[in-house]
Amino acid sequence: METPGIESMTEFCEQVNPRVLLEMRRVRPFADMRRLQQSLVAGAEKRALMWLAARTPACIRPDHLTALGLVAQIGTGACYALSSWNRYWLLGAIACLALNWFGDSLDGTLARVRQKLRPRYGFYVDHMTDTFGALFLICGLAISGHVSERVALAMLVGFLMLSVNTYLATYTIGTFRLSFWKFSPTEMRILLAVGNAYAFYHPVVHFLGSERRFFDVAGTVASISMGVVLVASTIRNTMLLYRAEKV
């Protein structure tokens, strides 16, 4: 039996529903997707990135910055793991978070300023490095003993589910949402850096009448928040797509 060929989504829809085909042809291509950034520090961050991009040496390319961002996030996880031996590594994690912001945020800006855009390549590589980086970071935090394995797992699952939601919405709606409820990865790095500084002095806190690890409390709050954002975003996207393709 002959192996069937691989059909594109457009070809599939043409066979099943010609009306859907017309709608797909109307949708903007991937390269023209709308980037939505409405975080608390978006304006200041954009100005800072533009200033840095204009002064970045020509020998430094966006791929170099992407690699720096990944290495820095792996370094953050390593610092967390080492902080079980010496708490000063928590301060090292703050420095790695700053480097991660520099590399992960500046790579796209530099590509746009230099008109060296590779939309699909950049989108895929950037978010896969984010995924691997988050895995190393949270695993390092779990190894450190500052947070329980269950809370660390909840944070990792929450991050991955939000990521899946973002990527699916980018493909189906054409909008790449970089922030939810005024919070983006930049605000998350800031909160994590502040949490590191607090845990350096107060690794254990009083919460609900008992002593608990600070990162357990903070991680639980973060996991619940991600869950609420995920549910709200899923409902919003589902209703938007339902109204757009109502038959």
Q: Which residues, listed in sequence order, are joined to residue 207 by a DSSP beta bridge?
A: 210
Residue 10: its pLDDT value, please?
44
Instruction: Please provide the DSSP assignment of 62-93 as one string.
Output: HHHHHHHHHHHHHHHHHHHHHTTT-TTHHHHH
Range of the domain at 190: 39-244
What is the arithmetic mean of pLDDT over 20-48?
67
Token pair listed for 185: 């990865």
Whether 216 maps to a domain, the answer reads: yes
Using DSSP's 3-state secondary structure scheme, residue 85 falls into: coil
Q: How confident is the model at residue 8 (pLDDT cuts 50, 70, 90)?
A: very low
What is the arithmetic mean of pLDDT over 42-57?
91
Residue 5: its pLDDT value, please?
41
Using DSSP's 3-state secondary structure scheme, residue 147 falls into: coil
Are 172 and 109 within 8 A, CB to CB?
no
What is the arithmetic mean of pLDDT over 103-114?
90
Cβ neighbors of 168 (< 8 A, separation 6 or more) are: 237
Our count of domains for the chain comes to 1
Counting runs of H as helices and runs of E as strands, what totals does the chain give?
9, 4
What is the arithmetic mean of pLDDT over 113-137?
90
Encode pLDDT of 51-83 as tens digits: 999 999 999 999 999 999 999 999 999 999 999
**CA pair distance 51, 105, nearest whole angstrom:** 13
Whether 31 maps to a domain, the answer reads: no
Whether 129 maps to a domain, the answer reads: yes
Residue 9: its pLDDT value, please?
43
**CA pair distance 136, 97, nearest whole angstrom:** 13
Beta strands 175-177 and 34-36, pairing class: parallel
Whether 7 maps to a domain, the answer reads: no
Whether 8 maps to a domain, the answer reads: no
What is the arithmetic mean of pLDDT over 25-43?
65
Q: Pick the more confident residue, 24 or 227.
A: 227
Q: How confident is the model at residue 117 (pLDDT cuts 50, 70, 90)?
A: confident
Whether 1 maps to a domain, the answer reads: no
Q: Is the pLDDT of residue 126 over 60?
A: yes
Residue 35: its pLDDT value, please?
72
Token pair listed for 15: 């066979």
Whether 224 maps to a domain, the answer reads: yes
**CATH code of residue 63:** 1.20.120.1760
- Angle 153-154-159 from CA coordinates, rounded to 5°: 100
**CA pair distance 23, 83, nearest whole angstrom:** 54
Q: The whole model's pTM is what?
A: 0.80
Q: Helices 89-113 and 185-201 meet at what angle, rounded to 10?
A: 170
Encode pLDDT of 178-220 as tens digits: 777 777 888 899 999 999 999 999 998 888 878 899 999 999 9
What is the arithmetic mean of pLDDT over 75-98?
95
Q: How many CA atoms lie within 13 A of 100 on its CB side?
A: 30
- H-helix segments, 174-213: 185-201
Nearest alpha carbon to residue 76 among 146, 157, 125: 146
Encode pLDDT of 127-183 as tens digits: 999 999 999 999 999 999 999 999 999 999 999 999 999 999 888 888 887 777 777
The percent of residues in the chain predicted with pLDDT above 70, rounded, is 86
Q: How confident is the model at residue 15 (pLDDT cuts 50, 70, 90)?
A: very low
Whether 30 maps to a domain, the answer reads: no
